[in-house]
Amino acid sequence: MAANNSNSLLGNRQPTLSTTASNNKRKATDPNLKIITIDELYDVTLIVGTPDHPNGQMAFRINKGSLRNATKVWAKMLSGDWAESDMSEIPFTDDSCFAFQIVLQIAHLQFHELPTSLTLQKLMDVATLADKYELARILRPVTETKKWLQPHRVSPAVWRTSTAIQEFAFITETLGSEDDLKYLINKLAMNVRIDIIGGYYPFTSDGTKDRLRLDLLDRISAQVISLRMKILEEILNFCKNALHNVVTRKVARCKQTSCPIGSIGILIQTFNSAGLFPLPDKTSSMGRSVCDYWLGLRELTTMYNNYGAQYCKITTVVNNRQRSACFGDFGIVGETRAVLKKYAHKDVWAQWKVEKLV
């Protein structure tokens, strides 16, 4: 029995199911195979999944023409050069029948049958199918119209910080949501750390971690790692230049010989607390995240906030710390903040400002 249509283009009705298989010979082992008639004038039946598949197995009666129009992959499959083009029943044993049903309803313009919301796992199923069969063209406008991604955000421009952020990067990439993808890749690049065996993983605000899933999409993980390394390289150069300058300086601008010695101690103490002492030779040895290093280096302006850039004439000792306006931020804090602003996604930067991280 076919699904009943509704007058509402974007409604949320469920299709009527037939729980008995047809008499046709089919490659299915589920004795209670559910059959959904997407198109009453169907000319092919798709057997999707298996009884052992996490989403089970279902059969869909559909129109070949609608399937061809959905993607070039299926158009080629049903063109006549492939065995599937002459089959009355086509098996898709590896795929999710849930995700397939959504795609078929879209391909047959049955938008009123689509769900109003999708869990993370359901979105992953749909995205996996989209990546496999190049379905972003038909899925993106529906995803935006149905607002399937919206419940997973903190606000329209900000995504929740959790280990699922990399799954959402995969989802937005495969569904063609470019603005969301740029934000999520940027967010990952700023928060990814490297563990002791060289594995990348995003670290979240609640302290949980999950290894960066390089299996999701190489093109996503490559962008994350590349951006992270680019930012860390500039930060490392600032630190190396600052250390070189204080070590080679004999007399400070205030003419006090004790100021350069004090500045070396302050700089080393800051590097140590930031996880940068001794300074690494290359960024591949920097295990903490971009945000971690920034928060550590920023201590120069909070621990020693008496040091300004202005010229000083008197040096005193207070609480066993050398106080001198000669120190400034050693050419590190201001420059690092500028680099972060240059590379951070505008919504990531805005979120940092609200959280007073920059």
The torsion angles phi and psi of 34, rounded to 5 degrees, stand at -80, 135
**Residue 45 CB: number of other CB atoms within 10 A?**
20
In the predicted structure, residue 233 carries a pLDDT above the cut 60: yes
For residue 302, the model assigns a pLDDT of: 65
Whether 29 and 47 have beta carbons less than 8 Å apart is answered as no
Instruction: Name, in order, each residue with C-beta under 8 angstroms of 221's C-beta and a sequence gap of 6 or more.
Output: 200, 212, 213, 214
For residue 10, the model assigns a pLDDT of: 30
Average pLDDT, the chain: 80
* Tokens read off for 319: 């609480």
Percentage of the chain lying above the pLDDT 70 cut: 73
DSSP assignments along 201-231, one per residue: EEB-TTS-B----TTT-HHHHHHHHHHHHHH
**Burial of 308 (C-beta count, 10 Å sphere; 0-12/13-18/19+):** middle
- Rounded Cα distance between 192 and 211, Å, is 9
- Rounded Cα distance between 232 and 285, Å, is 10
- Rounded Cα distance between 43 and 303, Å, is 74
CA dist list (Å): 150 to 12, 98, 129, 147, 153: 17, 20, 21, 5, 6
For residue 23, the model assigns a pLDDT of: 41
Domains of the chain, with CATH numbers?
Answer: 1-114 (3.30.710), 230-354 (no CATH)
pTM, to two decimals = 0.77
Handedness of CA 191, 204, 150, 352 (dihedral sign): negative
**What is the arithmetic mean of pLDDT over 50-61?**
94
Query: What are the tens digits of pLDDT across the range 272-321?
Result: 989 999 999 999 889 899 999 999 999 887 655 544 433 344 445 444 34
